[in-house]
């Protein structure tokens, strides 16, 4: 396992305390593990998945993905604290995913979408790349302007190193560019169940893959759900 020593923030990196102002923060984990990255990708192709054009996305193995997302970020509950910075201490935040996204052969760009289907929510992204050539580009727009005004502003572009985790507030608009062979893991956390938010027009497709299944299960179990058991 490769480890990364504690360091000062890179030029342009946002301090964690500014996430409510900038809408995002890049957290530097204390370690990364290339072997775990490979294991995450292996599970994507061994489980149920969606194949659409050059993209493949699915749940993979939930426990492996969850461990990957939190690798080097569990000290002092750092991962959970980043979520609380956005949605507050809600007791039992509702987790979505994780979902693995991979581009097989061609470069693919997702146009401007919301970082999370729900407003009171946060999305976490971690790149699975081993080389700079296959790193995903996350383009983040400033908070506030309506979608039409967003098109006239320049986004902040971030390509994550293996030890970095990107946390983004739900209302932030962003683009995602995935090179051929690129892949990442997404996990969402929200104050409440997303429900029909998942079907909104500005939702990334990989966040929708279980929408109908989740809504059906939610309706069927509406009277029996225990908040600390909710994960989809």
Residue 68: closest CA among 167, 186, 182: 186
The whole-model pTM stands at 0.81
Dihedral of CA atoms 12, 66, 119, 50 in degrees, nearest 10, equals: 110
Q: Which two tokens stand for residue 190?
A: 């929200």
Q: What is the pLDDT of residue 92?
A: 63
With 80 as the cut, is the pLDDT of residue 185 above it?
yes
What is the end-to-end Cα distance of the chain in Å, rounded?
29
**Rounded CA gap, 179 and 181, in Å?**
6
Greater confidence (185 vs 216) lies with 185
Q: What is the pLDDT of residue 28?
A: 93
Q: Any bridge partners for residue 165, and if so which? A: 27
Q: Which CATH architecture has domain 18-219?
A: Sandwich (2.60)
- Cα separations (Å) of 201 from 45, 46, 81, 189? 28, 30, 30, 20
Domain residue spans in the chain?
A: 18-219
pLDDT 10s digits, 29-40? 998 898 999 999
Q: What is the pLDDT of residue 231?
A: 40
Q: Which two tokens stand for residue 153?
A: 């502003």
pLDDT 10s digits, 75-85? 888 898 888 88
With 90 as the cut, is the pLDDT of residue 221 above it?
no
């Amino acid at each position: 396992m490769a480890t990364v020593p504690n360091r000062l923030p890179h030029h342009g990196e946002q301090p964690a305390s500014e996430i409510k102002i900038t809408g995002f923060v890049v957290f530097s984990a204390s370690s990364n593990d290339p072997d775990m990255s490979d294991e995450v990708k292996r599970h994507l192709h061994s489980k149920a998945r969606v194949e659409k054009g050059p993209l493949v996305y699915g749940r993979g193995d939930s426990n492996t993905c969850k461990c990957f997302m939190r690798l080097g970020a569990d000290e002092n509950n750092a991962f959970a604290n980043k979520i609380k910075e956005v949605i507050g201490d809600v007791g039992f935040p509702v987790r979505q995913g994780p979902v693995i996204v991979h581009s097989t052969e061609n470069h693919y760009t997702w146009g401007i979408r919301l970082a999370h289907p729900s407003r009171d929510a946060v999305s976490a992204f971690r790149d699975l790349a081993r080389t700079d050539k296959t790193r995903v580009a996350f383009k983040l727009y400033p908070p506030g302007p309506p979608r039409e005004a967003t098109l006239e502003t320049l986004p902040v572009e971030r390509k994550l190193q293996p030890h970095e985790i990107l946390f983004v507030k739900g209302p932030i608009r962003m683009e995602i560019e995935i090179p051929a062979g690129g892949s990442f893991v997404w996990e969402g956390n929200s104050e409440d169940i997303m429900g029909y938010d998942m079907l909104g027009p500005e939702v990334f497709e990989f966040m929708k893959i279980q929408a109908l299944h989740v809504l059906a299960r939610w309706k069927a179990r509406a009277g029996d759900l225990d908040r600390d058991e909710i994960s989809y």
